[in-house]
């Protein structure tokens, strides 16, 4: 089993839809959880950063971490065509390198 | 905010030649930078950790003599792909750790824009 599993999609939704992106992981020691957005031929940019369990909201984006289930989610409300990108989850434990998921490709149609 | 600049953004070279990619932290000092490689539709794979003033730490399976990393200053790390071959064609991305106050264990990374290498 890989440390971090993420469905690569692609995921296609109409503009205005609520999008749910998810990752599961196997290492219960992970404490720090991030979501990155990557546009084609560009480096990833940090969207959300969460420490341990709980929810975090930033505008149209909400990140959730459920450590008991080893499951993290990113929700995008009122999705826009400009949200079309690949979304990568990443996580680590203290002082270790980030482990990335494969990324989910999202397409939002107008 | 913290910015990591990477250059060149794309490069095409002949097989057997060497290519250097530069990664600069523009408005902060980065004692540690990370080099990743990304194949199409694949995740980022950590190649090496670059430490200012010391030797880089390479991940298992990464040839240190092929992928030379130099971190001579607090704002510059370079990756040189030596004697490049077509199988080295990939997207190479550097990043730096932006430490968040109170959460010293997190490696919240800021990435460069990436360098797409094509070896003919």
More confident residue, A69 or B51: A69
Residue B89: pLDDT over 90: yes
Q: What is the pLDDT confidence band of residue A61, given thresholds at 50, 70 and 90?
A: very high
Contact A15, A79 (CB under 8 A): yes
Residue B84 in contact with partner chain A when CB distance is under 8 A:
no
pLDDT attached to residue B28: 81
Residue B30: pLDDT over 90: no
Contact B105 A42 (CB under 8 A): no
Q: In this predicted model, what pLDDT tens digit does every residue of B40-83 receive, in sequence order? A: 878 899 999 998 888 899 999 999 999 999 998 888 999 999 99
Q: Mean pLDDT, to the nearest integer, of A53-58?
A: 91
pLDDT attached to residue A77: 97
Chain A residue with minimum CA distance to B36: A43
Chain CA centroid to CA B44, Å: 11
Chain B hits for A65, CB-CB cut-off 8 Å, are none
Contact B58, B79 (CB under 8 A): no
Residue B62 in contact with partner chain A when CB distance is under 8 A:
no
Residue A3 in contact with partner chain B when CB distance is under 8 A:
no
Beta strands at A99-100 and A11-14: parallel, antiparallel or unpaired = unpaired
Q: What is the pLDDT confidence band of residue B3, given thresholds at 50, 70 and 90?
A: confident
| CA atoms of B20 and B30, how far apart (whole Å) | 19
Q: Where are the alpha helices (DSSP H) in chain B?
A: none
Residue in A31, A101, A105 nearest the CB of B105 = A31
The average confidence (pLDDT) of chain B is 89
pLDDT attached to residue A33: 94
Which positions ≥6 away from B39 have C-beta within 8 Å?
B45, B90, B91
Residue B104: pLDDT over 60: no
Q: What is the pLDDT confidence band of residue B1, given thresholds at 50, 70 and 90?
A: low
Chain B hits for A85, CB-CB cut-off 8 Å, are none
Residue B102: pLDDT over 60: no
Residue B43 in contact with partner chain A when CB distance is under 8 A:
yes
Angle (CA) A105 B105 A100, round 5°: 20
Give the burial class of B2: count Cβ atoms within 10 A of its Cβ; 0-12 exposed, 13-18 middle, 19 or more buried. Answer: middle
């Amino acid at each position: 089993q890989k440390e971090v599993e993420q469905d690569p999609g692609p995921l296609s939704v109409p503009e205005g839809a609520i999008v749910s992106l998810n990752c599961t992981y196997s290492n219960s020691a992970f404490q720090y959880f991030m979501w990155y957005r990557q546009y084609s031929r560009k480096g990833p940019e940090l969207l959300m950063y969460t420490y341990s369990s709980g929810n975090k909201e930033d505008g149209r984006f909400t990140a959730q971490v459920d450590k008991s289930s080893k499951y993290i989610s990113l929700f995008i409300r009122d999705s826009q065509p400009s949200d079309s990108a690949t979304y990568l989850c990443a996580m680590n434990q203290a002082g270790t390198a980030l482990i990335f998921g494969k990324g989910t490709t999202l397409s939002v149609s107008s | 905010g913290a910015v990591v600049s990477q250059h060149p953004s794309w490069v095409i070279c002949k097989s057997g030649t060497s290519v250097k990619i530069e990664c600069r932290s523009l408005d902060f000092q980065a004692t540690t930078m990370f080099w990743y490689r990304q194949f199409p539709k694949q995740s980022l794979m950590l190649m090496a950790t670059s430490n200012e003033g010391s030797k880089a730490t390479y991940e298992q399976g990464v040839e240190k003599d092929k992928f030379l990393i130099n971190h001579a200053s607090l704002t510059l790390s370079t990756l040189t792909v030596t004697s490049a071959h077509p199988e080295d064609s990939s997207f190479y991305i550097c990043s730096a750790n932006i430490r968040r106050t109170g959460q010293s264990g997190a490696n919240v990374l800021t990435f460069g824009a990436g360098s797409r290498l094509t070896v003919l």
